[in-house]
Structure formats: C-alpha cells, structure tokens
C-alpha cells in the first residue's frame, strides 16, 4: 500500500516543512513507513514505485509533479520543496502491485480541472469489476484517464458523479454526497462478485477549497492507517542533521491548519488523532473539520441524513428554533481609558514566550493555561503573580474548577486535577483518546469534550485521596466507557446546570480515583471555558444535570446526566441520555455559558451571532438572537446582572441580563496594553507579538471576575492578560453607561470612535454602524478577490446581524460557490408590525455590500476607517453603497420602534396598511454581479418575492451637490477583449528582430484607432463603426422633454445627451505577453467596453464590432490572428417616471428636502436591475441619496452627514406613502 499526506491551511507553507524536513516526512515514509499492513512484498516498509506532488497557487487548477523514481532519491523533489509554498498540498509515495505497472501515468495525485485525487489501498476483484465500472463513464471522463490503475478509475467515477460535470467546483456537501455515491457504486459492484478479497479505500480529494479524506473498507477487518492533526500552525522545534522536529502549535480555539497523513509526520503523539474507520473527514473552506460516517441503506444507497442537521456543512441561511425574538444590538461611545490600571510583569526567565491559551477566575485568583504547558496564577486583589504550576508536557487547552480542585487538559492527551490549597497535582489521567478541548464540572462529574468528536465523564469520588499527598496516576483506557451519539465535529464548548433541587447541597466533597465512566461519541473543539461561579462547581454527590455540548458541526446537544452513589460501596453510577439537538450556528459553536440562575443558555458561533436559549420548561427554545458581532464569538462570560461577549475581531460587548440589550462596547487596540496598561504579563517580552502566529492580535478568551467586577481577556499570540474595570458599570440591579451620550460629539472630531451610546441614537443617527461597516474591507475586485473574500463574508455577516436585529428572516446563498454570498432578508411593517404577510404588497430593495479597491494613493484619510471632516464622512463604501444601505435599515428600524412621529402630519404618522419588505444585498456588484441572479432565481422559485410591486435601488447619485434627483434610466454595458497573436510564436528582441516583420502591437493599435473618428466633435471622438448608432432613440418623448428641461439649467444639454442617450465605446488598456522596453510582445489583449442605450441590441452591436475588426485586419494585410471575446454584457434600463412609485419618491423627497427633485438618467450601469425587474415583472425606481461629488469608486469617497440623516426620513416617508396607495 501507498502513503499520502494532505496539508490545508489558511496560510501557505513551504513544502519542505512537510515533504522533506520532518522526522517522519512523506519522504521518510517512502523508505521507512511504520504502519503498513496486509503486505505481500518482501520489504513492507518501501514505497519506491514513484511519487507525486500537487499544490495550488494563484491559479484555480493545481500544479502536479510526478516521477517514477523513488522519492528519497529524486533531487528535483528536494529542490522544488525548498522553493514552493502553498496553502493546499497533496503528496503521495507509491507502492505498486503486479497488476499496475510503474509509470508516470499511474503516479498520484491524479488531476483534472480544479480537482486532485489520491488513493491508498486497492479495489478487490479488479479484473472482474474494472470493465463494468468503466462502462459507466461518459466519453469525457473516460478520455481523462491516462493510466491503468484502480485508483484512477475511482477518480473517474468521482468526476462522473459530479452533478454538472467536472469543470466546475461545488459546495462541500455536494462533494461529500458525490463521494458517498461513488462508495455505494463500488460497494454494490464488489459485493455482486461475492468474494472475500478486501477493498481498502483511503481516498483524498480536493477542488482547491474543500478537502475530503476517507478511511473506508469493504470485506476487510481493518482499514489502512490514517491520522490528522489540527491547530494554528505547523512549526519547526529543532533541527538535527537533515531532519527536524515539528509539532502543531495552538494559539487560539479556531483551527487554522489541518494535516492529514497515512502516518504521523512527527513523534509528538499529542498532535495526532486517528481518523475513525468508515468515516470521511471533510475540511470545509473555513478550515472546519467534520467527520461523516459512511453508512448505507438496504438498497446500497448512501445514508445522507446529515444533510438536514449539520449547519457547518449545509448552511441553511436561516437557522431558527421555534420563533426567536430578535433584539437589536446596542452600541456605546468608545471607552474611557481611566478604567485600565496596573501593569504586572513576571520577570522570571522563560525559554520561550509563554502565550496565554485559556483563563479561569476562582475567587480572587486568576489561572492562565499557557502554550508552554504551565499554569500560572495571579492574585486579583494585588495583581501579583502567585504560582507557576508545571506538569503538563504540552499546551494547556482548557481549565475548570471544582470546590477543591483545579482541572486542566493539555495537548499531551492528559487531565490533571490540582489542589487549590497546595497547587500540586492530585490526580493524573493519561493517554486520553484525543485532546480534551473543553471542560465542565457537573456536580460530582467532570465532563470533557474531545477533538475527535467525543465527550467523556470522570466521576469525582469521596474518600481517602482528599488528604493524601501522593499522586494518583490513572490510564484513560481503563476508566472510559464509550457511548454512541450523532456528532460530526470537535466539541468546542460544554455547559451544565442542575435540573433538580437534590443537586444543591453544601456538603463538601473530596477526591478519590474515578470509577469507570462514560464516553460519549459527540463533538469537541473548545478552549478556555470559564466557570460562571454559580454552576460548574461540584457542590454535592449525585443528582440530575442538564449538559449542553457545542460542536464544530454547528449543533448544540442537550443531555440529561443522572448520577447516583451507592453508600455501601461508594460506587457512583452515571446515566446519560440525549434530550435534544439544537440547530445553532453556521460554521460551528465556539462558546457556551449558563446565566440567570440557570434559566438561559448563551451560545456563540463562527457566524458572529449570540443566541439566547430559554431553559425553562421541558423544551429548549431560542428566545433571542444578538447579532452585534461580525466575527467568531470566542468567549462568553456571565455574572449576576450582566454578561460579556468577545469576538475574534477584538470586540468586547457588555449586555444587560434582564433585557439582553448592549450597554457597553470596548475594542482593544494594539497599543492598549501600553497606553492603558491594566494587564498581567507572563513575560518581560510581552509587547512583542510574533508575526508568524496565525491570527495574532485577535481576541482569544475572556473570563469574568465577579468579586472585583472586572473582565479579563487575552489576545492571540500574547503573553499578557488585560483587565477591564467594570465596577462602575455593574450595580445591584441596574446598569449605567460608562460614557454619557453626547449626540453632537459623535462626529465632531476626525478620529472620533463613532459609536453611539444608546440604541435609539445608534439607529436614528447610524454613524457608528457605518464606521463598523466601512471598516470591513469588502473589496470584490478580481485582482484582490482572494485576499479580501474573508472580509466580504464578514461584511455579509455584519449586515445580516443588523437585519436579524430588526426581526427579519434572513438567508445567505451562493449563486456561484467561488464568489461572495448574497444576503436575503424579509420582514413586515405595518400598523401593528408582525411577521411576513402573504397577502400584503411587497417592496423589494436591492443594494450591494462590496466596494471598489482603495489604494492609499490619492486618499487623504484611511479609506477603511470612517473619518468625519467638516460634515462629511470619508471612507470606501460611504456613498457606494454602505451608507445608503444603513440609511434604509435605520428608516425601517424607526418605523418598527416609533410608528408614530410627532414631526409628521397626522395622515402619515402610521402606516395605512402593512407592507412586506424584501432586501437583496449582493457582494459582486462591482464585478458584474457574478452568481447573484442565480441566487435570486432560487428564492424566486421558493416564493420569496410573491406579491412584489416595485424594486427600489439607492445605488446612484444626484445630478449635482444641491438638487436631489430621481434616476429613471441606465445605460447597458458590454465588456469585451480583443486578443491578438502575432506571426512570431514567441516574444522577440527589438534589437535583434525589430523591423524584420510586422509587429502585432502596431496592427492592434491600427484596428483600435479605426474605431473612432479622429476629428473631435464637441470635445469627444465619435465612433465610426458601421451600425454603432443604429436603433438609438433620436428624440425625447414630449413628457420626457418636460422633465429634461430643468436639468439643462444645471448641465449642458448636449453633454448630458452624450452621457445618457447615446452609446459610447471606451478602450481601457492593452495587456501584453511581456512588459519590457526592449521586447516585442507576441500576444496582446485590448480591453474595451461599450455603453448601450434604448433601443439597442447587444448581440447585433457586437456583430457590427466584430465585422469592423475583421474588415480592418484584412485591409492592413495583417498576418496576426485575432479573437473577440465577450467578458460580460448587461442590458440598458428605462423606467416609467410617471408611475405611482416615482410619484411616492417625488413626494418623499419634496417633503424632506423642501425642493422638487430632478429626473435624470445615469451613464453608468447596474447589471442586476434590468434582469431583476424583468424576472419579477415589476417596475424599478432609483432613489439617489448621495451627492455628485461624493467620489464613488474614486479616492476620498464620502457621504454628507446631512444626506445620511435625511435619507432615513426620505425612505421612511416613501414607505408610508406606498402603504396608502
């Protein structure tokens, strides 16, 4: 059998750190593998029949390098691995059988399009099943295969099963379903033969975004070995000779790096977990690891029940449990630095920076689990260091506390129970099946969540070990009893609460060796889990508890734990039953906390949401969704009257427990530890943060100290714990804002924090929300897309959170899996509010959250930090289109919370009839709306747009800076490229070959020049392509002429006509095969666009352009070859400015601005508007909200504060007018 290795990480890694340098690298495994079984070869440790290496660079297709020589003896492999870096790497060393010869065609990985495939194992009965399986392949897939192996045939079967063929990518759940169908087909064919020969199917498949690795067998006692390791990064520890020691380092609770290998690449056992047999390990594009069992129905079809219950794998777009009440986030003005005092430094010398990984407050003590394996404690009254507790051999991942003991887990696969009096280890439990990522104490039972998706429990016993000074050592395999369950991902968090009064007792208990405990096959992956002070401390023996486990699969499981003690034998019996599964968070559950005397469970996820689950009664119902964060929720800490939440973007929020309203916001800065130094430091090097640390600077964990009324938090890659004094925030029953609201100060300074104190203030003057929105760099431009895609997703999450806060039903869809998500939302507004009403008219709002790139050149301020200067708010997206989006949401919020307004006439103070509102916000408008229309079409088929009457767009601008406008027309646009290849097959030197042949650049410039009449007419170059101006409306309708006249008083009529009513052709640039002042390029691409107007036809216009190009190339006798390629084309749009919707907008603008709006057209294009309008068969109305000089797409983009505030009023008035029609 062969060996293979897969690396998938957020950051690229040098291949040598995987392929050649580690002690047990894939090269080492090629000649000295350790875990091959069922071998008939003479030397079972050799894999010398060739090798292969595959990786992804910036291109969508992977690069593959294969050779038939042994991997250990190939100098080119050594050279390549020392120079190439990638974030997704496949490596394979081959041991061929007699049926399959050694050739490069048979070397793995196999590749087609974006896909790569590797196999370790073999198919049984090959000669009997090969032909029937090949006959199932299409001609396209059949001819892809160049080799003769069973492995490549399996790859072909996978490509064949892809729903729409192998030339595109798919979401993770589609790839998973496809692989399961392949296994079903192979299993059915093999079982038909009725032989006993084993089939071993360890596959590795990727499309560059998702990785699937299987460990599957048919008619075999066991599968080939397969391991995985996950953490923050793969780092070198030391070097000895030609090999090095490596390990997986952990800096926070999220997974940034995953390595999958037939055998561990290092001897650090704590890093590696065996992949369960008959499972598929799937790594999603978010680097989320999930385990899917391979199961079959009686008809041999695969079981895919997981499709409906794993939010992390199959996002629903709108996860709900019951009908939760959604509260709006409340933000406050920035924080007072006087709340931070003290800097404490532990000056003891340490070998390496002891980064903080988890926190726990116990009375007046703070315990920190460290990356170096120690636990460090401080006195929270004096802020002096107390102890360094040593024992663990690797990073301390999680902490919990009982009445007398501190419990810790480590990546060395152990648990330690420390005496809180002596700080010594009392019990050591070694050789856990996997790393315990999360801990909680329920009565007399310790609950641990594992990386390998399991939960287990260890009972705390009364007895003699309370006073002994001897260390009690136990082996995990002797005390753990597994229990099956249905989790798919690592268990990130655990919470517990007593469910019967019998658990409340004041009798102290001590510790003795645990008796056999239970082992729950569940989920696991959490880190610093803190004790709330009310629950989690073992205060008695026996009783019933509710246990909640949160997993990377996005589910929360609710368990019932019953513990009873036989007084005669002192044996503790534990029973566990699964009570309920909760669909909780897309992307995974990261944190759980019990609050409010056990009545509520708080959960935080990678979707940026905080959910509040009511635990009263028999059911568990989501009562609130708090969408204030727009990044992973990594910590929740609860006190009696407040709770705090923290996200990876370093945002910390304080909430009222009784109302779930936000009362305080704090954003630690990089310099906060020095300028406001209330921090505890474990190292004198605490101000240095290694740049190599994944996610360095993002928030890691929090803990709440109820006695000192302070919040403690740490950031990734830091050795400091910072303390935020909240004593003046927390009172017996009430809260008061830290900073008194000052409305006018929100924008009085160019660098103000721009965060409002009061919820009503935040929505009525949404500057703070805009500051956050602008700070998310949602650039969708092709050149920067891969770098900014995570930011675009964050922008979508932020916007979704605001809509959740309004009570909207939200969905996120990907019309194209390789592009940005499209956000949909719907809600009803009316005399009494309420849910979406089927019979009410629907108003559809369209906008986009993506922005143009913002290179610093030309900007006077930071483009992604909203800055106020002289009444204008500067920042990328301020006018296009983030400012208008927030103005609309603020208007809707005001109508929901203040339906009556004293400033408005009586007949407008309340909606006359209910309206349904549908919001469509895409992330690809700046790049031709790729995938958006497909996503819209999906929900149109689901009835989301039923009853639609009008499409409203606010993505345009006024005619100038003084007159509000209404846009009723847009030009269409066609983007095209003219590709020219010269006569010479390669680039040539101008000195050697210049003048000896016709250069393609000259031919291309001649053709481009022929597009235009060089005699300028009215300051422009008319286009002289035959038919270019055909079908153009030469004159305006009389009614349109009337509305055009006032516009001509501001702008030149002829200039406006050229911009609005006539087509235009613009050349944007020429790309060439080489850029040098001495080289003649052989290949050239001219990029140009055509703006079209009513009543032109794009197809006919393109034919005329192509005919002109062909004619000109023939006229000049060019020997170059050429091709015209259409990149995109979008239709023009002309609205009916006389309809009721434009009249409603006209009335709203006049009411707010006190002036009649002008009716104008736009020279630009919005691709989705005509498609959307035609699909729904509804008119569109464009309501510009920003000024002409607001520099959309240009440096110093801005929006006037007056426009932002008045836009809220205009849109509110517009909706109220519609409700009366």
DSSP state of 394: S
Residues in the chain: 1221
Tokens of 933: 């229309």
pLDDT, greater one: 900 or 849: 849
Is the confidence at residue 752, as pLDDT, over 50?
A: no
pLDDT tens for 323-348 read 333 333 333 333 333 333 332 333 34
Residue from 660, 627, 662 nearest 812 by CA: 627
Tokens of 790: 């995570």
Is the confidence at residue 984, as pLDDT, over 60?
A: yes
pLDDT, greater one: 524 or 493: 493
Instruction: Tell me what pLDDT residue 1140 has.
Output: 95
Instruction: Tell me what pLDDT residue 197 has.
Output: 86
- pLDDT bin (cut points 50, 70, 90) of residue 350 is very low
CA distance 617 to 594: 16
> Can you tell me the mean pLDDT for 153-180?
94
Do β-strands 279-283 and 211-218 pair in parallel, antiparallel, or remain unpaired?
A: antiparallel
User: Which of 2-16, 738-752, 832-846, 1158-1172 is the least confident region?
Assistant: 738-752
Instruction: Tell me what pLDDT residue 335 has.
Output: 32
CA distance 846 to 768: 22
CA distance 712 to 668: 12
CA distance 776 to 799: 11
Is the confidence at residue 539, as pLDDT, over 50?
A: no
Output the DSSP codes for 1-31: --EEEEEEEEEEEETHHHHTSBTT-HHHHHH
> Can you tell me the mean pLDDT for 206-234?
92
DSSP bridge pairs for 917: 827, 843
CA distance 481 to 449: 14
Output the DSSP codes for 362-377: ETTEEEEEETTS-EEE
CA distance 1220 to 624: 33
User: What is the radius of gyration, based on Cα positions, of the chain?
Assistant: 33
Do β-strands 662-666 and 652-656 pair in parallel, antiparallel, or remain unpaired?
A: antiparallel
- pLDDT bin (cut points 50, 70, 90) of residue 729 is low
Instruction: Tell me what pLDDT residue 5 has.
Output: 95
DSSP state of 1158: E
Asked if residue 507 lies in contact with residue 452, where contact means CB atoms within 8 angstroms, the answer is no
Asked if residue 45 lies in contact with residue 32, where contact means CB atoms within 8 angstroms, the answer is yes
DSSP state of 162: S
Instruction: Tell me what pLDDT residue 40 has.
Output: 43
Tokens of 951: 């499409």
pLDDT, greater one: 466 or 496: 496
Asked if residue 550 lies in contact with residue 492, where contact means CB atoms within 8 angstroms, the answer is yes
Share of the chain above pLDDT 90, in %: 42
| Angle in degrees, CA 190, 196, 198, rounded to 5 | 70
Tokens of 105: 């065609």
Is the confidence at residue 398, as pLDDT, over 60?
A: yes
Tokens of 748: 């009085």
Asked if residue 764 lies in contact with residue 910, where contact means CB atoms within 8 angstroms, the answer is no
Instruction: Tell me what pLDDT residue 742 has.
Output: 24
DSSP state of 989: E
Instruction: Tell me what pLDDT residue 291 has.
Output: 92
- Most confident among 430-439, 637-646, 682-691 (mean pLDDT): 430-439
CA distance 830 to 828: 7
Alpha helices in 635-701 (DSSP H): 672-675
- Average pLDDT over the chain reads 81
Is the confidence at residue 1085, as pLDDT, over 80?
A: yes
**Helix, strand, coil percentages in the chain from 3-state DSSP, rounded to 5:** 20, 35, 45
Residue numbers annotated as active site: 2
Instruction: Tell me what pLDDT residue 481 has.
Output: 57
Instruction: Tell me what pLDDT residue 807 has.
Output: 86
Residue from 1183, 1137, 661, 1166 nearest 887 by CA: 1183
> Can you tell me the mean pLDDT for 731-760?
30
User: Which of 308-312, 737-741, 800-804, 977-981 is the least confident region?
Assistant: 737-741
Asked if residue 1172 lies in contact with residue 951, where contact means CB atoms within 8 angstroms, the answer is yes
Distances (CA, A) of 464 to 359, 468, 1177: 30, 7, 80
> Can you tell me the mean pLDDT for 76-99?
88
Is the confidence at residue 810, as pLDDT, over 90?
A: yes
CA distance 333 to 335: 7
- pLDDT bin (cut points 50, 70, 90) of residue 778 is very high
pLDDT, greater one: 1095 or 832: 1095
pLDDT tens for 626-683 read 877 888 998 998 887 888 898 888 888 888 888 888 887 777 654 443 333 334 555 4
> Can you tell me the mean pLDDT for 993-1000?
86
Is the confidence at residue 907, as pLDDT, over 80?
A: no
Is the confidence at residue 688, as pLDDT, over 60?
A: no
Residue from 663, 670, 679, 759 nearest 711 by CA: 679
Output the DSSP codes for 712-737: EEEETT-SEEEEEE-TTTB-SS-B--
CA distance 618 to 615: 8
Is the confidence at residue 853, as pLDDT, over 70?
A: yes
- pLDDT bin (cut points 50, 70, 90) of residue 569 is low
Instruction: Tell me what pLDDT residue 911 has.
Output: 67
CA distance 727 to 930: 51
Instruction: Tell me what pLDDT residue 37 has.
Output: 58
Is the confidence at residue 150, as pLDDT, over 70?
A: yes
Instruction: Tell me what pLDDT residue 509 has.
Output: 35
DSSP state of 782: G
Residue from 978, 986, 983, 1043 nearest 1008 by CA: 978
Number of other CB atoms surrounding residue 468 within 10 Å:
13
SS3 437: strand
CA distance 104 to 101: 10
> Can you tell me the mean pLDDT for 943-964?
93
Instruction: Tell me what pLDDT residue 1154 has.
Output: 94
Is the confidence at residue 240, as pLDDT, over 80?
A: no
How crowded is the C-beta side of 324, counted as CA atoms within 13 Å?
28
Asked if residue 483 lies in contact with residue 519, where contact means CB atoms within 8 angstroms, the answer is yes
Instruction: Tell me what pLDDT residue 856 has.
Output: 87
Is the confidence at residue 781, as pLDDT, over 90?
A: no
User: Which of 196-210, 260-274, 508-522, 957-971 is the least confident region?
Assistant: 508-522
| Residue 801 burial by Cβ neighbours in a 10 Å radius (0-12, 13-18, 19+) | buried
Is the confidence at residue 1199, as pLDDT, over 80?
A: yes
CA distance 441 to 459: 10
pLDDT tens for 1099-1151 read 999 999 999 999 999 999 999 999 999 998 889 999 999 999 999 999 999 99
pLDDT, greater one: 451 or 571: 451
């Amino acid at each position: 059998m062969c060996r293979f290795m897969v690396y998938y990480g957020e950051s690229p890694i040098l291949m040598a750190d995987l392929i050649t340098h580690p002690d047990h690298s894939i090269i080492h495994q090629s000649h000295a593998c350790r875990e091959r079984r069922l071998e008939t070869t003479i030397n079972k440790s050799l894999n010398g029949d060739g090798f292969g290496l595959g990786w992804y660079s910036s291109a969508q297709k992977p690069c593959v390098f294969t050779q038939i020589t042994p991997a250990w003896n190939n100098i080119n492999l050594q050279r390549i691995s020392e120079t190439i870096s990638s974030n997704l790497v496949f490596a394979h060393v081959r041991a061929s059988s007699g049926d399959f010869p050694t050739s490069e065609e048979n070397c793995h990985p196999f590749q087609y399009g974006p896909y790569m495939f590797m196999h370790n194992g073999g198919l049984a009965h090959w000669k009997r099943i090969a032909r029937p399986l090949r006959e199932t392949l299409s001609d396209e897939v059949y001819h892809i295969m160049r080799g003769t192996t069973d492995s490549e045939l399996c790859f072909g079967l996978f490509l064949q099963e892809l729903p729409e063929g192998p030339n595109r990518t798919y979401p993770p759940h589609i790839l998973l379903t496809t692989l399961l169908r392949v296994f079903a087909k192979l299993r059915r064919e093999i079982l038909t033969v009725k032989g006993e020969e084993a089939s071993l199917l360890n596959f590795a498949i990727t499309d560059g975004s998702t990785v699937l690795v299987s460990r599957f067998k048919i008619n075999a006692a066991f599968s080939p070995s397969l391991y995985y390791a996950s953490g923050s990064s793969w780092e070198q520890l030391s070097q000895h000779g030609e090999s090095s020691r490596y390990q997986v380092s952990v800096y926070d609770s999220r997974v940034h790096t995953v390595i999958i290998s037939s055998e561990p690449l290092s001897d650090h056992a704590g890093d590696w977990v065996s992949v369960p047999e008959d499972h598929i390990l799937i790594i999603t594009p978010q680097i989320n690891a999930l385990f899917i069992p391979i199961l079959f129905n009686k008809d041999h079809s695969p079981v895919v029940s997981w499709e409906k219950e794993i939010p992390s794998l199959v996002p629903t777009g709108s996860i709900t449990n019951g009908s939760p009440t959604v509260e709006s986030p409340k933000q406050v003005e920035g924080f007072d630095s006087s709340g931070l005092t003290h800097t404490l430094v532990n000056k003891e010398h340490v070998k390496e920076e002891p980064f903080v990984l988890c926190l726990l407050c116990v009375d007046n003590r703070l315990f920190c689990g460290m990356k170096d394996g120690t636990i460090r404690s401080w006195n929270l009254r004096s802020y002096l260091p107390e102890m360094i507790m040593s024992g663990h051999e690797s990073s301390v991942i999680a902490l919990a506390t009982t009445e007398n003991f501190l419990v810790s887990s480590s990546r060395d696969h152990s648990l330690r129970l420390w005496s809180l009096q002596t700080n010594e280890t009392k019990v050591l439990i070694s050789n856990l099946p996997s790393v315990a990522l999360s801990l909680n104490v329920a009565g007399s039972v310790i609950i641990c969540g594992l990386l390998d998706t399991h939960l287990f429990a260890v009972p705390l016993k009364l007895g003699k070990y309370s006073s002994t000074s001897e260390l009690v050592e136990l082996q995990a395999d002797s005390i753990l009893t597994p229990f099956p369950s249905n989790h798919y991902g690592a268990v990130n968090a655990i919470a517990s609460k007593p469910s019967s009064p019998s658990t409340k007792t004041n009798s102290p208990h001590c510790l003795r060796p645990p008796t056999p405990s239970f082992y729950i096959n569940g989920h696991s992956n959490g880190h610093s889990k803190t004790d709330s002070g009310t629950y989690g401390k073992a205060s008695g023996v026996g009783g019933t508890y509710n246990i909640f486990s949160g997993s990377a699969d996005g589910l929360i499981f609710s368990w019932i734990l019953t513990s009873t003690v036989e007084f005669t034998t002192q044996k503790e019996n534990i029973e566990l039953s699964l009570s309920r599964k909760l669909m909780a968070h897309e992307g995974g559950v990261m944190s759980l906390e019990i609050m409010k005397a056990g009545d509520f469970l708080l959960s935080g996820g990678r979707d940026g949401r905080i959910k509040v689950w009511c635990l009263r009664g028999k059911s568990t119902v989501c009562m609130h969704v708090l969408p204030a964060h727009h990044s992973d929720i990594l910590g929740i800490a609860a006190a009696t009257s407040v709770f705090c939440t923290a996200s990876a973007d370093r945002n910390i929020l304080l909430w009222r427990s009784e109302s779930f309203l936000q009362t305080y916001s704090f954003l630690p800065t990089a310099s906060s530890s020095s300028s406001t130094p209330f921090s505890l430091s474990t190292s004198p090097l605490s101000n240095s943060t290694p740049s190599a640390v994944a996610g360095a600077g993002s928030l890691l964990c929090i803990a709440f100290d109820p006695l000192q009324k302070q919040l403690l938090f740490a950031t990734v890659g830091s050795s400091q714990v910072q303390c935020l004094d909240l004593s003046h925030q927390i009172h017996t029953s009430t809260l008061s804002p830290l900073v008194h609201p000052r409305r006018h100060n929100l924008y009085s300074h160019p660098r103000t924090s721009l965060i409002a104190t009061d919820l009503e203030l935040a929505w009525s003057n949404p500057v703070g929300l805009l500051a956050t929105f602008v700070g998310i760099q949602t650039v969708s431009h092709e050149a920067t897309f891969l770098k900014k895609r995570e930011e675009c997703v964050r922008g979508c999450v932020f916007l979704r959170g605001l809509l959740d806060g309004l009570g909207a039903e939200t969905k996120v869809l990907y019309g194209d899996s390789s592009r940005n998500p499209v956000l949909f939302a719907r809600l009803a507004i009316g005399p009494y509010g309420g849910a979406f009403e089927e019979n009410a008219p629907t108003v559809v709002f369209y906008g986009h959250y993506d922005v143009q790139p913002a290179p610093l050149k030309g900007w006077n301020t930071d483009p992604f930090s909203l800055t106020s200067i002289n009444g204008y708010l500067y920042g990328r997206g301020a006018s296009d289109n983030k400012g208008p989006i927030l103005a609309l949401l603020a208007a809707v919020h005001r109508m929901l919370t203040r339906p009556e307004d004293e400033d408005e006439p009586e007949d407008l103070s309340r909606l006359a009839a209910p309206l349904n509102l549908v919001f469509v916000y895409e992330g690809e408008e700046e790049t031709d709306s790729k995938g958006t229309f497909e996503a819209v079409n999906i929900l149109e088929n689901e009835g989301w747009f039923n009853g639609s009457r009008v499409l409203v767009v606010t993505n345009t601008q006024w005619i100038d800076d003084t007159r509000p406008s209404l846009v009723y027309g847009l030009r269409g646009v066609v983007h095209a490229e003219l590709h020219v290849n010269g006569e010479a097959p390669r680039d040539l030197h101008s000195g050697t070959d210049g003048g000896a042949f016709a250069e393609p650049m000259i031919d291309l410039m001649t053709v481009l020049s022929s597009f235009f009449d060089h005699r300028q007419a009215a300051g422009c170059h008319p286009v002289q392509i035959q038919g270019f101006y055909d079908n153009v409306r030469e004159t305006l309708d009389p009614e349109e002429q009337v509305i055009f006249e006032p516009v001509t008083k501001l702008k030149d009529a002829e200039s406006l006509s050229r911009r609005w009513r006539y087509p235009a052709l613009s050349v944007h640039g020429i790309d060439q095969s080489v850029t040098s002042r001495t080289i003649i390029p052989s290949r050239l691409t001219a990029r140009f666009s055509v703006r079209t107007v009513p009543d032109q036809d794009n197809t006919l216009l393109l034919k005329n352009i192509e005919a002109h190009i062909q004619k000109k190339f023939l006229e000049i006798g060019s020997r170059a070859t050429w091709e015209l390629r259409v990149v995109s084309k979008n239709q023009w749009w002309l609205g009916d400015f006389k309809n009721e919707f434009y009249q409603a907008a006209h009335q709203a603008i006049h009411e707010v601005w006190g002036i009649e709006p002008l009716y104008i057209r736009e020279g630009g294009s919005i691709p989705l508007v005509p498609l959307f309008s035609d699909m729904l068969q509804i008119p569109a109305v464009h309501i510009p909200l920003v000024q002409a000089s607001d520099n959309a797409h240009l440096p110093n983009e801005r929006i006037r504060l007056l426009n932002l505030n008045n836009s809220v009023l205009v849109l509110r008035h517009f909706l109220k007018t519609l409700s009366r029609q």
